[in-house]
Amino acid sequence: MLHKLLEELLTGETAEDLEELEARARVLLSELATAESESPVDGPHAPEIATTALRALAIPEVAALRPRLLPEITVFLAKTAGDRTTFVGGIVDALALAHDGTVDIVIDWKSDFDPSATQVGLYRAQVRDYLAATSAREGLLVFITTGRIELLRRPDGGPL
């Protein structure tokens, strides 16, 4: 749900207004046949979801990129080594284009509050796949509930 709200904020489909975001979160909960909880501790809570979405876009590293962000972009990659081809596909949560139209930075939103080291390792691998698929120079792993950011770079500035 947070991904959907972030997408709608970035495309302008939903206004950057707390009340409107709360209302939209309630519609999305309804579409998922999920009841809203009275408290964020008990489950999905529209005010907390809306606040988290706005907070994510206010993270300084994200806010700096915001004018260049495109949300929810499907990417594919085929890597061949010897007689083996590996295919990678996914949806990049957001990407920033450089002035020449190439992909500069990929962003992967995560809503985990306290992910394990193993889970973070899997997330890093996912961002590295996105870097390879897009030839972006950097990737941001953005933990939107805490504001934590991890920057990943291609080691040589070239293809992974």
- pLDDT tens readout for residues 93-124: 999 999 999 999 999 999 988 999 999 999 99
Give which of 148, 151, 98 is closest to 128, Cα–Cα.
151
pTM score, whole prediction: 0.87
d(CA 35, CA 91): 27
pLDDT at residue 155, rounded to an integer: 65
Residue 159: pLDDT above 70? no
Q: Which domains are assigned to the chain?
A: 2-58 (no CATH), 68-153 (3.90.320.10)
d(CA 5, CA 55): 12
- Contact call for residues 137 and 106 (beta carbons, < 8 A): no
Helix (H/G/I), strand (E/B), else coil: 55: helix
